[in-house]
A and B are shown apart, each in its own frame.
Chain A
Amino acid sequence: MGDAIVGIVANPLSGRDIRRLVTQASVFPTAEKANMIQRMLPALEAVGVHRVLLSTDLGGISAAVFRAATRHRGQSRSGPDTRWPEVEFLDGQPIRQTAQDTVDAVRRMVTAGARVIVCLGGDGTARVAAAAAGDVALLPLSTGTNNVFPAVREATIAGLAAGLAATGAVPADVAMTRSKLLEARVADRVEIALVDVAVSTERHVGARAVWDPATVTQVFCAFAEPDAVGLSSILGQLSPAARGDPHGVTARIAADAPEQVLAPIAPGLVVPVGVREIERMRPGAVYPVDTRAGVIAVDGERELTFEPGDHPTVRLRADGPRCVDVPAVLAASARLGLLRHQLRRVGST
């Protein structure tokens, strides 16, 4: 099958925005992100991935992994469980400390032939990675709260799944699922969202995160699960749409609407939200944004400002990123006996 390459992109700036201040959003230390990567590496090696590409950052994650790798190389090999794949740090390009860094890293991994790209971060990181990954499968891993798209999963297990999918040991039709996505458009500016698009009357991108529900006028959800946190939870309770359903769901938000739902719209924030005109979103159909002026937030972050006359639109698409389905991969691995191991006799290599 050729040597499988897995990429790992970690966002050092996820989880440090204003939600730490205005809601009880989690504080996820850089050290823990670095630890997650270090837990993944032996797992990847164990299932046959010998080459890993790692994004570089100024936030301390790649530096910590680099120090660990240096230490690791210096240790004597005491058994197969301590082996790491060869880690190649993708440096040499300027680090802007913006989303562009994630885009650049993902593109380089795609060009280098990575079969799976693990991304550590929140919805925002997954969204940006998805826009750059093309057809290469993603494995989004949550680092913190306020995440709907990436799964909260133990990194070691994610490493096993990424490796089994990348080597093809679990076939792609079992290992990967294709997600939906939303496309928000203001004239020639387009942004994608993996979970929700919200329309806010805020005038400016500002501190980015949408944390004040009073400003939201419309939500569009690619999927809305009843057990999710965030804006999609508004519809997750009233009109759920599963990840696997072809349709999405949209509604207007108005404080005085007769239909009210208590929604966990942010970590620690459960508030009544007024909802009107709930309707299913058909894939491909174009839905208009009615608010005159404001900002469109994608996956909880303000991105696209629009002025009167701009007439923004939102469209549900079926051709979102391919994602590794971790439980499916490991269930398949159990069925296929992929992790069964031969006991080594003393004296044999």
Chain B
Amino acid sequence: MTDTMERRALTREQLLAAYRQMRTIREFEERVHTEFATGEIPGFVHLYAGEEASAVGVCGNLDGRDTIASTHRGHGHCIAKGVDVGEMMAEIYGRQTGSCHGKGGSMHIADLSKGMLGANGIVGGGPPLICGTALAAKLKGTGGVSVAFFGDGGSNQGTTLESMNLACVWNLPAIFVAENNGYAESTASSWSVASDNIADRAAGFGMPGVIVDGFDFFAVHEAASEAIARARGGAGPTLIEMKFTRYFGHFEGDQQTYRADEVARARAELDCLKRFAARVTETGELAQADLDAIDTEVATLIDQAVDDAKTAPPPTEADLLTDVYVRY
């Protein structure tokens, strides 16, 4: 096997881990969807269901040296980067046991110890920060890379375009992942992205741009593997555009009257988990029993997370004023 093949060949452990992560994201989001409808979860949530292959396919190539930045639709990236699921659920419920002690909420879950620079409430807020962590990795010589996830809406934000230029000018170990799920809120990306393919913008900045079927874990993993290797090797940034669809609305409560029937079709024919399962059982790399076992474990994990979150204490009045600055 060549180095390239070795790097990309997925072991049994890696395949199991990929399935587990995708399944965890899916069950997490589906559960938040039903729980949110009860009115118990404060504020807004933006669900990632349907897009799991992107987060898991990319993050499956990362390690402890690497950083990612996410969007308001950040639960999937958090889980894929190893943020604790129980702490995430508690954060969404606004509890003191949450990842951010209840002070951030769904849109601001972060864990810098795991290289997760945060979900972000500002569209386009992540890419400049990723230029920074990539710069730090380059100057410190860690070999680490930084990945900026953003959506089709975020692809039009000035900050994203500036960051792409800066990353190319400074030759940073950065990867820009445009998750084109077809809609920026209620506006179709085929309308709002003038070049229609976000990947086409890459040439304007002097970096490669590739389009990947975002429902296909193996396609994502392969393309991301190459982009990350390129960045680690000092050859600079890449733009990867995932094309897929989100299963839920922009936010929970979105009536989605702007959509056609693409979700039903996607769930039936394109779903990343179904396709992954079909493939790995077909090749014999994994057995259905392996997958079923994971499904059961994940269901238990999510149940536990929700139960714990519902019974956890809220932050106290004293918590209101803490951590504005480092010392007070």
* Residues of A bordering B, CB below 8 Å: 12-13, 16-18, 20-22, 27, 29-30, 58-60, 63, 97, 203-208, 212, 214-215, 293, 305, 307
Q: A21-B230, A22-B226, A207-B219 are in contact. Are A293 and B283 (CB under 8 A)?
A: yes
> Which residue of the partner chain A has the closest CB to B225?
A207
Q: Which residues of A contact B218 (CB under 8 A)?
A: 204-207
**Is B197 a contact of A59 with CB atoms below 8 Å?**
yes
> In angstroms, how far is the closest chain A Cβ from the Cβ of B195?
7
Q: Assess A206 versus B190: contact at CB under 8 Å? Given A18-B210, A20-B209.
A: no
Candidates B197, B208, B285; contact of A30 at CB < 8 Å: B197
Residues on B with beta carbons closer than 8 Å to the beta carbon of A208: 219
- In the complex the two chains form, is B223's CB within 8 Å of A29's CB? no
Given A30-B196, A206-B221, A206-B222, A21-B5 contact (CB < 8 Å) = no
- A74, B61: Cα distance in complex, Å: 53
Residue in contact with B210 in the complex, picked from A16, A63, A212, CB distance below 8 Å: A16
- Can you identify 19 A-B contacts, CB atoms within 8 angstroms? A12-B197, A16-B197, A17-B210, A18-B223, A22-B226, A29-B200, A60-B196, A203-B283, A204-B279, A204-B283, A205-B216, A206-B216, A206-B219, A207-B210, A208-B219, A214-B1, A305-B279, A305-B282, A307-B284
Q: A16-B211, A18-B222, A29-B203 are in contact. Are A307 and B196 (CB under 8 A)?
A: no
Give the residues in chain A near B283, CB-CB below 8 Å. 203-204, 293, 305, 307
Shortest beta-carbon contacts, A-B, top 5? A60-B196, A204-B218, A207-B222, A206-B218, A16-B211
> Contacts of B238 on A, CB cut-off 8 Å?
21
Restricting to B1-22, which residues have a CB under 8 Å from any CB of A?
1-2, 4-5
B191-219: which have CB < 8 Å to A?
194-197, 199-200, 202-203, 208-212, 216, 218-219
Contacting residues, chain B, for A215 (C-beta < 8 A): 5
Q: Determine if B77 is an interface residue (Cβ-Cβ < 8 Å).
A: no
Q: In the docked arrangement, what's the CA distance between A17 and B219, Å?
A: 10
Q: Give the CA-CA distance A212 to B285 in the complex, in Å.
A: 22
Nearest-neighbor residue (CB-CB) of A97 within chain B = B243
**Beyond A16-B210, A27-B209: 14 further Cβ-contacts under 8 Å?**
A12-B196, A16-B199, A18-B210, A18-B222, A18-B226, A21-B238, A27-B200, A30-B197, A30-B200, A59-B197, A205-B218, A206-B219, A208-B219, A214-B4
Chain B residues with Cβ under 8 A from A13's Cβ? 197, 211
CB-CB under 8 A from B194, the residues of chain A are 60
Q: How many residues of B contact A (CB 8 A)?
A: 35
B79, CB-defined interface residue at 8 Å = no
| Partner pick for B285 among A20, A203, A206, CB 8 A cutoff | A203
For residue B68, CB closer than 8 A to chain A, the reply is no
A residues in contact with B5, CB < 8 Å: 212, 214-215
Bound-complex Cα distance A207 to B240 (A) = 12
Chain B residues with CB below 8 A from A214, complex form: 1-2, 4-5
Q: Which residues of B contact A207 (CB under 8 A)?
A: 210, 212, 218-219, 222-223
B78 within 8 A of partner (CB): no
Our pick among A12, A21, A60 for the contact of B227 (Cβ within 8 Å) is A21
Q: Which residues of A sit under 8 angstroms from B2, Cβ to Cβ?
A: 212, 214
Chain B residue nearest to A96 (CB atoms) is B265
Shortest beta-carbon distance from A278 to chain B in Å: 24
Contacts of A206 in B (CB 8 A): 216, 218-219, 221-222
Write out the residue numbers on chain B whose beta carbons fall within 8 Å of the beta carbon of A22: 226
Instruction: Give the Cβ gap from A199 to chain B, nearest Cβ, in Å.
Output: 15
By the criterion CB–CB under 8 Å, are B282 and A307 in contact?
yes
A82 smallest CB distance to B (angstroms): 27
| Bound: A212/B226 CA distance, A | 11
| A60 x B210 contact (CB < 8 A) | no
**Contacting residues, chain A, for B219 (C-beta < 8 A):** 205-208
Q: State how many angstroms separate the Cβ of A176 from the closest Cβ of chain B.
A: 34
A30–B2 alpha-carbon span in the complex (Å): 35
A16 to B202, CA, bound (A): 11
Q: A17 touching B196 by the CB < 8 A rule?
A: no
A18 vs B279: C-alpha distance in the bound complex, in angstroms?
21
User: Smallest Cβ distance from B108 to chain A, in angstroms?
Assistant: 33
Residues on B with beta carbons closer than 8 Å to the beta carbon of A17? 210-211
Alpha-carbon distance A143/B221, docked complex (angstroms): 27
Q: Which residues from B are CB-within-8-Å of A97?
A: 243
**Which of A13, A29, A206 is the most central at the interface, judged by chain B CB atoms within 10 Å of its CB?**
A206
